[in-house]
Amino acid sequence: MNNLIVSPAPHAHSGDTVRRNMLNVIIALVPAYLVSLFYFGLGAFIVSATAIVACVVFEFLIQRFLLKQNNSIGDFSAILTGLLLGFNLPSNLPIWIVVIGALVAIGVGKMSFGGLGNNLFNPALVGRVFLLISFPAPMTTWPRPIAWNSSYLDAETAATPLSLIKENGAEALPAMWEMFIGNMGGSLGEVSAIALLIGGIFLICTRTITWHIPVSILTTVAAFTGILYACDVINVTPLFHLCAGGMMLGAIFMATDYVTSPMSASGQIIYGIGIGIITVVIRVFGAYPEGMSFAILIMNAVTPLLNTYLRPKRFGENKK
């Protein structure tokens, strides 16, 4: 009996791991990915697969040769970054641009801060916004969704509903139902609101994320656009704004990134409200048709401040 192990309490663990949480998010993205394969076909597969492989390879190379540390591929966070980056790109984007995006996402967005847990900004969005600014034309040319699609670079193009209302073009907006299931132009993973919502419910049920961020973003957007609609500033309904562009993908999957979102429930709600307001302001009054990525990145920058000033409610804080 001289080989007893001694360690401080607790001696039990929930069994939760970083990998499990990342895997849950990847699983939650599957429905949206299936819709995307249905409408954008080969292109959706090529772009997302390239993004995933490039992110994993870049993370491995940087850790091996630059940082000289053990690789953390096994935590699946690079896979998730790659998948989310892919979801934020048009499915007819050339491979070399996708690879540059992955390099910026992992190299600049994540590893330069010290790897998982230390980055200030959402890596996938850093990659996406870098590409949007550097390659505006290919990044804003979206393929037309066609059922059982198999085209890639030669795909027929279509405008997104948000750019349609921005340019007041002659082309008719897609029907609300079409937008809800994902039959519209857009980045490959953002089109299907219903599939993304299913993923969001899965994440909340498995306690991977809490409801605070998605609900506060979506309610803020609904309320704000509702007011603008009532005042005749815009002529599309709040429901349109909820289903259009990257709203669902951003609210459920991008803004809820653990590392870059606030820690306390009150902080998360303020963060969500901030994202909602900034997004609507950019969409309605800004030069860009879509503002979700910018809004999330701006609020990422505010996160440390929210963590400092909005603390969780302590036990016994207000005597009852």
Partner 1 sequence: MKTFRIGGVHPHENKISAGQKIQNAPLPNQAIVLLAQHLGAPATPIVEKGTEVKVGQLIATASGFISANVHSPVSGKVAKIDTIVDGWGMKTPAVFIDVEGDEWMENIDRSSDIKPVCKLEPADIVKKIGEAGIVGLGGACFPTHVKLSPPPGKKAEVLIINAVECEPYLTCDHQLMMEHGEEIMIGIGIIMKAIGVNKTIVGIENNKPDAIAHMKALASKVMGVEVTPLKLKYPQGGEKQLIDACIGRQVPSGALPIEVGAVVQNVATVYAIYEAVQKNKPLIERVVTVTGKAVQTPGNFRVRFGTPLSTLLDMAGGIPENTGKIIAGGPMMGRAMSNINMPANKRISGLLMLPSEESIRQEPQNCIRCAKCIGACPMGLEPYLLAKQAELGLWDEMEQHHIMDCIECGCCLFTCPSRRPLLDYVRMGKNKVGGIIRARNMKK
Q: For residues 131 and 114, what is the distance between their CA atoms, to the nearest angstrom?
A: 22
4: number of Cβ within 10 Å: 5
Interaction pattern, residues 137-176, with partner 1; x per rule: CB under 8 A? ----------------------------------------
In the block, tokens 């219903």 appear at 194
Verify binding: residue 206, partner 1, rule CB under 8 A. no
Q: Which of 29, 44, 56, 75 binds partner 1 (CB under 8 A)?
A: 75
Q: Min. distance of Cβ 172 from partner 1 in angstroms?
A: 44
Verify binding: residue 118, partner 1, rule CB under 8 A. yes
- State which residue, 134 or 308, has the beta carbon closest to partner 1: 308
- Compute the Cα dihedral for 228, 232, 234, 237 and give only its sign: positive
Q: Give the interface segment with partner 1, choosing from 10-18, 34-42, 57-65, 223-231 (CB under 8 A).
A: 10-18
Q: How far is CA 168 from CA 152, 163, 203, 234, in A?
A: 28, 8, 37, 12
In the block, tokens 């193009």 appear at 157
Verify binding: residue 4, partner 1, rule CB under 8 A. yes
Q: Give the interface segment with partner 1, choosing from 113-121, 192-200, 217-225, 246-254 (CB under 8 A).
A: 113-121
Please name the residues in contact with 84: beta carbons below 8 A apart, sequence gap of 6 or more: 29, 124, 189, 253, 254
Give helix 77-87 / helix 95-103 axis angle, nearest 10°.
130
Q: Which of 175, 227, 233, 263 binds partner 1 (CB under 8 A)?
A: 263
Verify binding: residue 68, partner 1, rule CB under 8 A. no
Q: Which of 9, 133, 137, 287 binds partner 1 (CB under 8 A)?
A: 9
Q: Which of 49, 239, 259, 284 binds partner 1 (CB under 8 A)?
A: 259
- State which residue, 72 or 237, has the beta carbon closest to partner 1: 72
- State which residue, 21 or 225, has the beta carbon closest to partner 1: 21
Q: Min. distance of Cβ 311 from partner 1 in angstroms?
A: 7
Verify binding: residue 72, partner 1, rule CB under 8 A. yes
- State which residue, 210 or 235, has the beta carbon closest to partner 1: 210
Which residues are near partner 1 by CB under 8 A? 1, 4-14, 16-18, 20-21, 72, 75, 77, 115-118, 210, 258-259, 261, 263-264, 311-317, 319-320
